[in-house]
Amino acid sequence: MFFWAATAVVGFLLPFGFPLSLTVFGPYRVGGNKSMSQMDPAQNEASENSNSSKKVIKSDAEWRRILTTEQYCILRKKGTEQPYTGVYNDHFEKGLYKCAGCGQVLFSSETKYPSHCGWPAFYDVEKAERVVCRIDRSYGMIRTEVLCSRCGGHLGHVFQDGPSPTGLRYCINSAAMIFEPSPPQNPQSR
């Protein structure tokens, strides 16, 4: 009885899982050293297509199973962690920040800076094609949402009040990322 009930639930969720994650790939992206006004939608579409074989697509039930509750709420349900509470807010060790959903490297400590906005902030992404940006009109605001290009997970938003050289501030939830510290440097190689 339970088995059939569970099968029915999964069967119900599956058709909605794919469109949910696919709708996040918006018409343009922000990244690299380009400002928002320099985005070329055609070029971006081409790079998205070339990256399509690496996409990670899972059902809602699978995401629920592999993510923590906090990761799931942010990555899959577009939640936002409370300001100044995230584990990486005041974290400035050398290393890489990976997507908590699929492990793709998104940001480097090299571009992280103390924005004092309450969330981890970066002025650039590791590679432009690692994120996808789309207009977010929720909560009566017009913002630019940042998503992982591989799994479609919601990461945060990008604003145009960051430092040079990009002028961008990628405002990212700590729980959407996993930090991997750089290996310790060999003193003899210095």
Q: Which residues are catalytic?
A: 171
Based on CB atoms, which residue is closest to Zn ion, 71 or 104?
104
Stretch of 26-34, 88-96, 120-128, 144-152 contacting Zn ion, by CB under 5 A = 144-152
Site for Zn ion in 101-140 (CB under 5 A): 101-102, 104
Q: Which run of H or E residues covers position 19?
A: helix 2-22
Give the nearest distance from C-beta 38 to Zn ion in angstroms. 25
Under a CB-based contact definition with an 8 Å cutoff, are residues 143 and 133 in contact? no
Site for Zn ion in 65-84 (CB under 5 A): none
Which one-letter amino acid corresponds to residue 134? Answer: R
Among 145, 149, 152, smallest CA distance to 171 is for 145
State how far the Cα of 11 lies from the Cα of 189, in Å rounded to an integer.
56
Neighbours of 58 (CB within 10 A): 19
One of 31, 153, 156, 162 touching Zn ion (CB under 5 A) = 153
State how far the Cα of 70 lies from the Cα of 159, in Å rounded to an integer.
23
**Per CB under 5 A, 99 contacts Zn ion:** yes
Based on CB atoms, which residue is closest to Zn ion, 61 or 167?
61
Give the nearest distance from C-beta 1 to Zn ion in angstroms. 36
Based on CB atoms, which residue is closest to Zn ion, 101 or 120?
101
Based on CB atoms, which residue is closest to Zn ion, 104 or 174?
104
State how far the Cα of 179 lies from the Cα of 96, in Å rounded to an integer.
6
